[in-house]
């Protein structure tokens, strides 16, 4: 690589062992490439300098934050620059206009914490909230547990500052509550997985802080009864702030990991919350009644925030429980809420067909599940089976009117399925859109588009 | 014009007097061009046929619905086709997924009415709600009175079907609650004022129906006190569903038009509503108290929906009152809510400087006002003064951190100011985006971009 501009010398991560940690994201089996350079930008000017240099020398650039991506989108590229923006973490809160103007490196949970002093909230809450950055959330249009009531990251981004390949700084959207001057390119950049430019600042819309959430936990004997519970919640006039589903095998996996009080032979569990100001208590009682009527065999209601949190512990144990179980592929399909039961059934049919174990859990309130297929990585037949199951789950989601990714993004992992969902003409059009902003093709190449 | 495809023959509006009515929108002083063709499309296939034909013969196409645009964006173009989509008005409501899949010709208020049977709501409510179409709402990213609580049209559009010049059908976005497969081009089309393609279907997100709104009317002696009222409302944890401002001259204009019970010498009036389920009554009492503490000289609270409506009558009389007053230019600037008072003061300074009368009213909850400058159309000095005042108001909004259009769009009327707000580089980029979808430049040419 030609020598970097002097300004960037002390932004480099020189220690190769440390640098290697910037080479991977949280995608299963990620391995850092042999040769790449890590630049930790401190401000917009650093980003401009990197993108000017990269364009001049046609070097691929991977923008990245905390690398919590599960799709390969934040992994370094051989011979390229990993442009880390974690250190661009300024926060300006305007409580009158109810906006936060932030750098991409701000950690999601840190922003939430800072907002409590203003009685304001920024809802998007991916499971990795404690470590993931706003820049990464914007790159993937991250969702999380709150989406059933609050929507996704895109619903909270009013405007962006983006540095384009070559170093030009552009601004999208607005700071004001409304604004329709010219095209709004904000939504194009949100979810573009670093393939168009590097976000250096975002204007985020905030909401008045809700109440601390209270929780209902409902246990069902069968998957069918669990789905009747989901349907009963859809009829509530006050939308729950969280509706999480654990299927039978997920519950068994959690109970194997530790005793969280779930009956090991349950057909399904729903965890439901309300954070409605002044009404969380009434709401959870009403949800409990609706879930009991729908056929829950056991319903527990939290009386206060501490108890509410206890009830969620089993759900939180899911990821470590699954991780402890060994190699797996993780899905992220999203289907109409009314088809969730069909999706869970299909996932287990697919697993059975390949002789694999599977669990199926996720965000039942918005139709976005994260089925996992487990495999023995030393058994080629199981590895191939898991790969096949991954693709068949995508096809199952399509057949149910759904999409291949609800919130994780396409990355490298799902790029082979992109055309299957969008069609060749649309992929060609989206490549042309990319070329408009990145004519040299140096922005996160190989991600989204295979 | 070469002869139209046979399929379209009976979609033409043959009567020249009727056709002429399709030539204009609601922009001040709009005059239909001499020669244009009106096609009333009945379905997507008609739209495909028109755009295939138009591309083959390089004929400009103006997509239009009810022509309630105030900016010239829906006016026919000399030698072009006015492609009216009012008749594409299918509605499919899915109450489980809480979406409506609609044609562009559906009238905003008709959709709202249909949704009541499902206890669901589609919030965006431009003042022209009774006649404007969803297609036009999407074209301008329409706002209205509800935005302080509910946001704008873009916040409710999940996906679109669009016919591009040449006749290709593309789809954007998704039907499911989440979905991040590839770039989301939905936000690019929302607010693009018909310059990229023709929307033939939209997937709209719905919400549970709120309660009927109750109203508070607060009268203030001075503009400063009125703004203190606006600030007091910003501190409410329960955001009002409507916060409308009338300045002193607006009140005087309404009282000249008919007696709506406003004191003619008031400094300002705020109309505030709550539609919060089960709490509208508590909320308006609390707003009333906050407004009184902020310095209101008189506060009236509606006890029921009928009375609430009565209190809004004065606000509704504003547009006819202003229309009765003669020729005017209508602004649509949006500023940070904290700068509204400065904007109102600047508007009246500008009017005084040009010897014009002005009123300043609008959506105080979101910072989007519609100042009007009145002029004698037979007095060239007044005409020139009003034109100058229009531009100076845009500059005033910029100086306050605002934008030239909050919800009406750019159209032809504000195209000369586009570059002033976005800068030459951004305008060039947006023209390149347009060229990607409309390489021949036949989609609503001359709108947005001068």
Q: What is the pLDDT of residues A375-415, one digit of tens each?
A: 999 999 999 999 999 999 999 999 999 999 999 999 999 99
Residue with tokens 């009222």: B229
pLDDT band at A53 (very low <50, low <70, confident <90, very high): very high
- CA-wise closest residue to B183 among A447, A250, A143, A39: A447
Residue A207 has pLDDT above 80, yes or no: yes
Question: What are the chain B neighbours of A238 within 8 Å (beta carbons)?
Answer: 208, 277
Q: What pLDDT, in 10s, does the model give residues A175-189?
A: 999 999 999 999 999
Across the range B255-273, mean pLDDT stands at 93
Inter-chain residue contact A231 with B425, CB threshold 8 Å: no
Mean pLDDT of all residues in chain B?
96
Q: How far is A141 from chain B (nearest CA, A)?
A: 7
Q: What percent of chain A has pLDDT over 70?
A: 100
Residues B194 and B234 in one domain: no
**pTM, to two decimals:** 0.97
Inter-chain residue contact A96 with B177, CB threshold 8 Å: no
HSE, side-chain direction, 13 A CA sphere, residue A54: 37
| The two three-digit tokens of residue B355, written as one number | 């010897």
| The two three-digit tokens of residue B373, written as one number | 């400058």
Helices (H), A318-440: 318-324, 340-353, 380-399, 418-422, 424-437
The β-bridge partners of A208 are A120
- Tell me the C-alpha distance between B339 and B375, whole Å: 27
Asked whether residue B120 is domain-assigned, the answer is yes
The β-bridge partners of A218 are A270, A299
- Tell me the C-alpha distance between B200 and A256, whole Å: 52
Residues B75 and B110 in one domain: no
pLDDT band at B308 (very low <50, low <70, confident <90, very high): confident
Residue B137 contacts by C-beta under 8 Å, 6 or more apart in sequence? Answer: B108, B124, B126, B153
* pLDDT attached to residue B336: 98
Q: What are the distances in angstroms from CA A192 to CA A86, A185, A189, B286? A: 18, 11, 5, 44
Residues B268 and B306 in one domain: yes
- Residues B103/B136, Cβ–Cβ less than 8 Å: no
Q: Per mean pLDDT, which range of A69-78, A169-178, B26-35, B404-413 is the poorest?
A: B26-35
Residue B1 has pLDDT above 80, yes or no: no
Give the Cα-Cα-Cα angle A372, A376, A380 (nearest 5 degrees): 110
Among candidates A180, A238, A433 on the partner chain, residue whose Cβ is nearest the Cβ of B407: A180
pLDDT band at B222 (very low <50, low <70, confident <90, very high): very high
Select from A178, A195, A275 the residue whose CB has the most chain B CBs within 10 Å, as the one to mutate to test that interface.
A178
Domain that holds residue B27: 6-84
- Tell me the C-alpha distance between B369 and B334, whole Å: 6
Residue with tokens 């296939």: B45
Residues A80 and A187 in one domain: no
Residues A201 and A225 in one domain: no
Domain boundary pick from A174, A208, A242: A208
Residues A241 and A151 in one domain: no
- Tell me the C-alpha distance between A229 and A222, whole Å: 11
Across the range A95-100, mean pLDDT stands at 97
Question: What are the chain B neighbours of A239 within 8 Å (beta carbons)?
Answer: 208
Residues B95 and B199 in one domain: yes
Q: What percent of chain B has pLDDT over 90?
A: 93
Across the range A416-433, mean pLDDT stands at 98
Bigger pLDDT: A217 vs A306: A217
Measured over the CA atoms of residue A226, residue A227, residue A230 and residue A232, the dihedral's sign is negative
Give the Cα-Cα-Cα angle B40, B42, B47 (nearest 5 degrees): 75
Q: What does the DSSP assignment read for B136-166?
A: HHHHHT--BSSHHHH--GGGGEEEEEEEPTT
Inter-chain residue contact A182 with B427, CB threshold 8 Å: yes
Asked whether residue B303 is domain-assigned, the answer is yes
Bigger pLDDT: B304 vs B405: B405
Q: What pLDDT, in 10s, does the model give residues B57-78?
A: 999 999 999 999 999 999 999 9
What residue of A is the nearest CA neighbor of B450? Answer: A182
Query: Is residue B425 within a helix (H) or strand (E), and if so which, with residue range?
Result: helix B424-437
Residue A339 has pLDDT above 80, yes or no: yes
Question: What are the chain B neighbours of A404 within 8 Å (beta carbons)?
Answer: 181
Asked whether residue A446 is domain-assigned, the answer is no
Residue A1 has pLDDT above 80, yes or no: no
- Tell me the C-alpha distance between B328 and B249, whole Å: 14
Helices (H), B201-339: 223-234, 248-257, 280-293, 305-316, 318-324
Query: Is residue A406 within a helix (H) or strand (E), and if so which, with residue range?
Result: none
Q: What pLDDT, in 10s, does the model give residues A135-161?
A: 999 999 999 999 999 999 999 999 999
CATH number at residue B47: 3.30.43.10
pLDDT band at A113 (very low <50, low <70, confident <90, very high): very high
Residues B147 and B95 in one domain: yes
Residue A215 has pLDDT above 80, yes or no: yes
Residues B48 and B121 in one domain: no
Asked whether residue B228 is domain-assigned, the answer is yes
Asked whether residue B408 is domain-assigned, the answer is no
Q: How far is B402 from chain A (nearest CA, A)?
A: 6
Residues B223 and B306 in one domain: yes
Across the range B264-285, mean pLDDT stands at 95
* pLDDT attached to residue B214: 96
Asked whether residue A15 is domain-assigned, the answer is yes
* pLDDT attached to residue A292: 98
Residues B369 and B314 in one domain: no
CATH number at residue B253: 3.30.70.2190
pLDDT band at A28 (very low <50, low <70, confident <90, very high): confident
Q: How many domains does chain A have?
A: 4
Inter-chain residue contact A180 with B409, CB threshold 8 Å: yes
Q: Per mean pLDDT, which range of A422-431, B130-139, B282-291, B309-318 is the poorest?
A: B309-318
Mean pLDDT of all residues in chain A?
96
Residue B6 has pLDDT above 80, yes or no: yes
Asked whether residue A447 is domain-assigned, the answer is no
* pLDDT attached to residue B311: 86
Domain boundary pick from A268, A284, A319: A319
Residues B78 and B43 in one domain: yes
- Tell me the C-alpha distance between A346 and A364, whole Å: 16
Inter-chain residue contact A177 with B366, CB threshold 8 Å: yes
Question: What are the chain B neighbours of A403 within 8 Å (beta carbons)?
Answer: 174, 176, 178-181
Confirm whether the ipTM is greater than 0.90: yes
* Residue A390 backbone phi and psi in degrees, to 5: -55, -50
Residue A308 has pLDDT above 90, yes or no: no
Strand ranges (E), B327-422: 328-330, 357-359, 361-363, 368-369, 372-374
CATH number at residue A351: 3.30.70.2740
- Tell me the C-alpha distance between A86 and A135, whole Å: 8
Question: What are the chain B neighbours of A140 within 8 Å (beta carbons)?
Answer: 180
Asked whether residue B429 is domain-assigned, the answer is no
Inter-chain residue contact A422 with B338, CB threshold 8 Å: no
Strand ranges of the sheet holding B368-369, from the earlier edge strand across to the other edge: B298-301, B214-220, B268-274, B242-247, B361-363, B368-369
Among candidates A366, A421, A436 on the partner chain, residue whose Cβ is nearest the Cβ of B432: A436
Domain boundary pick from A84, A109, A141: A84
| The two three-digit tokens of residue B289, written as one number | 């108290």
Residue B352 contacts by C-beta under 8 Å, 6 or more apart in sequence? Answer: none
């Amino acid at each position: 690589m030609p020598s970097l501009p002097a300004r960037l010398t002390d932004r480099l991560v020189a220690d190769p062992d440390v640098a290697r940690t910037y080479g991977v994201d949280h995608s299963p089996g990620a391995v850092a490439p042999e040769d790449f350079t890590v630049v930790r930008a401190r401000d917009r000017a650093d980003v401009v300098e990197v993108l000017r240099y990269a364009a001049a020398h046609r070097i691929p650039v991977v923008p990245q934050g905390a690398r919590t991506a599960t799709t390969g989108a934040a992994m370094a590229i051989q011979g390229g620059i990993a442009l880390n923006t974690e250190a661009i973490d300024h926060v300006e809160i305007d409580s009158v206009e109810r906006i936060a103007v932030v750098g991409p490196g701000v950690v999601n949970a840190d922003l939430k914490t800072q907002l409590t002093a203003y009685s304001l909230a920024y809802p998007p809450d991916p499971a990795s909230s404690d470590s993931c950055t706003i820049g990464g959330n914007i790159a993937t249009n991250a969702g999380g547990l709150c989406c059933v009531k609050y929507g996704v990251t895109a619903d909270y981004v009013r405007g962006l500052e983006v540095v384009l390949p070559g170093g030009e700084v552009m601004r999208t959207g607005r700071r004001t509550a409304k604004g329709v001057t010219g095209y709004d390119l904000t939504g194009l950049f949100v979810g573009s997985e670093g393939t168009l430019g590097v976000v250096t600042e975002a204007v985020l819309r905030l909401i008045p802080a809700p109440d601390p959430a209270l929780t209902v936990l409902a246990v069902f004997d069968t998957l069918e009864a669990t789905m009747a519970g989901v349907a009963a919640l859809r009829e509530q006039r006050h939308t729950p702030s969280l509706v999480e589903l654990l299927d039978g095998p997920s519950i068994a996996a959690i109970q194997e990991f530790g005793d969280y009080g779930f009956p090991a032979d349950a057909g399904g569990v729903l965890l439901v919350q309300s954070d409605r100001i002044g009404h969380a208590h009434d709401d959870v009682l009403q949800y409990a009644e609706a879930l009991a009527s729908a056929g829950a065999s056991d319903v527990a209601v939290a009386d206060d925030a501490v108890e509410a949190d206890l009830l969620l512990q089993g759900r939180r144990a899911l990821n470590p429980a699954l991780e402890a179980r060994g190699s797996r592929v993780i899905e992220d399909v999203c289907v109409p809420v009314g088809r969730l039961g069909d999706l869970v059934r299909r996932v287990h049919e697919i697993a059975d067909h390949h002789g694999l174990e599977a669990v199926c859990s996720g965000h039942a309130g918005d139709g976005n599940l994260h089925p996992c297929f487990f495999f023995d990585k030393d058994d080629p037949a199981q590895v191939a089976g898991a790969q096949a199951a991954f693709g068949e789950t995508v096809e199952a989601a399509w057949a149910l009117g759904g999409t291949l990714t609800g919130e994780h993004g396409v990355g490298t992992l799902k790029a082979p399925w992109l055309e299957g969902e969008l069609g060749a003409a649309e992929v060609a059009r989206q490549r042309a859109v990319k070329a408009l902003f990145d004519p040299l093709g140096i922005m996160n190449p190989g991600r989204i588009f295979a």
